[in-house]
Amino acid sequence: MNTDRFVLISGCSGGGKSTLLLELARRGYATVDEPGRRIVKSEMLGEGLALPWVDEISFARHVIALALTDRETISDPAGWVFFDRGLIDAAAALQHLTSEPALATMGQALRYHSRAFLAPPWPEIYAVEPERRHGLNAAIAEYRRLLDVYPSLGYEVIILPKVSPPERADFVLDILAH
C-alpha cells in the first residue's frame, strides 16, 4: 500500500484541525476523523471507561487500535487521504503516560507522508467541548511534545498558518504539490 498518500494533520487540540479536514472533504479529498474524538463519543453513549478524563492509558490504547484499523481499511489510495491525528499522536500519548516504547514500535513501522502538518495553539478559537474537557494549557503541553516527536521520527513538520479553513486547505495542497 502506498502510504505516501496518507497525510497527517496534527497539533494542538482546538487548533482548527477538524475544520480543515471538513474543508478538504468538501473539496473531494478522502479524510479520516480523529480516532480519539470518535472513541469519546462512543464511550459517552454507554458506560465506557476509555475516556481521557477517566483512564488515559486505556483511552490511548483504544485510540491506537482504532488508528491501526483506520489505516488498514483504506485500500491503495489514488489521491491524498488526510488524517485528523492518527497513530503517531496516540503512540506519543501512550509513551508519555507509561514510558512504553510505543513510538519506536509503531512510529517507524507505520509511516505516513514525510510531511506532517501541525496546527499551532490558537487561543482565539479554542473551546472546551463535551469530547474535549482539557484546558488550553494541557493542549499546549501536548502540542510541544508533538513538536519533538514528529521530527524524531523523520517527519518534516509544517506549521499551519492561522487563517481561514479554505486558506489553510490551499496552503496544505500547495505544499503537497511541491
The phi, psi pair for 52, rounded to 5°, reads -65, -25
The predicted-structure confidence for 24-59, as pLDDT tens digits, reads as follows 999 999 999 988 888 888 888 877 778 777 788 988
Please check the confidence at residue 6 and state whether its pLDDT lies above 80. yes
How far apart, in whole angstroms, are the C-alpha atoms of residue 15 and residue 12? 5
Q: What dotted CATH number matches 3-177?
A: 3.40.50.300
Report field, pTM of the whole predicted structure over 0.85: yes
The predicted-structure confidence for 152-168, as pLDDT tens digits, reads as follows 999 999 999 999 999 99
The CA-based angle 142-148-153, given to 5 degrees, is 120
pLDDT, the chain, mean: 87
The predicted-structure confidence for 69-100, as pLDDT tens digits, reads as follows 998 888 777 899 999 998 899 999 999 999 98
